[in-house]
Amino acid sequence: MPGYGAYECYANRDSLKYLDTYALDGIETLLRGTLRNYGFCSAWDVLVQLGCCDDTYKMEQVNTMTHRDFMNAFLAGSKTEAPEDKVMRIFNLTKDSPEIARLHWSGFFSDEPVGLKEGTPAQILEHILNKKWALQPTDKDMIVMIHRFKIEQQGKVKTIQASLVAKGDDAVHTAMAKTVGLPMGIAAKLLLQGKIKSRGVQIPTMSEIYEPVLEELKQFDVVLFEH
């Protein structure tokens, strides 16, 4: 991302259903993915491989469970061995590895009580993460979006990239709130002004909707840059 460095991407659900939505018939490859800072996926994969994301059963004795107990429930080995040491051994990680650092920062090896009466592994995982990941009043979120089109014309390959970075002001006026709420508000105004003629349930893939909406979004620093 120009000016912001590199990100990693993982596939997000079924990309192919967007072929018809965006009238992309005939293309060879389509990937809809989620962007994250580098290292996110490898740390999250530890939780996935351990089974912490399972939502099919409820764990026992959740009301007395600590964060360390939660991790230990998925780790084989001696009860005297620290859960972080077990994770390092199982996944062949070092003490200063970024995965261990992220798990430490997220609180998985602390003695803090989980604070739930019951829950599935996935529910407990979400609860633990929400303690650390919840936006504080002065926190600012940031959204990064990239649309990349690679085409071949007359034997030559051309790549067009449209990228967007939106930043929040605080925990209430977030980038997520802006990018979801502002387009809806602008579209509602255009409809009331009679500038959108389409009726019924519509999605904004028609130029009469997205062109004026994108143009007005520039006033709120929500801009896609093409190169």
**Residue 178 C-alpha from the chain's centroid:** 16
Q: How many domains does the chain have?
A: 2
Mean pLDDT of the chain, nearest integer: 94
**pLDDT > 90: percent of the chain:** 81
Could you tell me if 148 and 197 lie in one domain? yes
| pLDDT (tens digit per residue) in 102-118 | 999 999 999 999 999 99
User: Is the pLDDT at 100 greater than 90, yes or no?
Assistant: yes
Q: Is residue 118 a part of any domain in this protein?
A: yes
The residue among 79, 100, 133 that closes a domain is 133
What's this model's pTM, rounded to 2 decimal places? 0.80
Evaluate whether residue 3 is within a structural domain: no
What is the pLDDT at residue 28?
Answer: 86
Residue-wise pLDDT for 115-128, tens only, equals 999 999 999 999 99
Strands 156-167 and 8-11: unpaired
Within 13 Å of residue 57, how many CA atoms lie on the same side as its CB? 4
Show the domain range for 55. 40-133
Q: In terms of domains, do 155 and 183 share one?
A: yes
Tell whether 14 is covered by a domain: yes
Residue 3: the pLDDT is 87
| Alpha-helical runs (H) found in 108-174 | 121-133
Give pLDDT, residue 77: 84
Residue 223: its pLDDT value, please? Answer: 94
Output the pLDDT for position 9: 93
Is 2 part of any domain?
Answer: no
Instruction: Kindly compute the dihedral angle of the four CA atoms of residues 32, 36, 38, 42, in this order, to the nearest 10 degrees.
Output: -80
The pLDDT value given to residue 67: 98
Alpha-carbon radius of gyration of the chain: 23
Residues 189 and 220 in one domain: yes
- Residue 202 neighbours by CB under 8 Å, 6+ apart: 209
pLDDT-derived band at 1 (thresholds 50, 70, 90) equals: confident
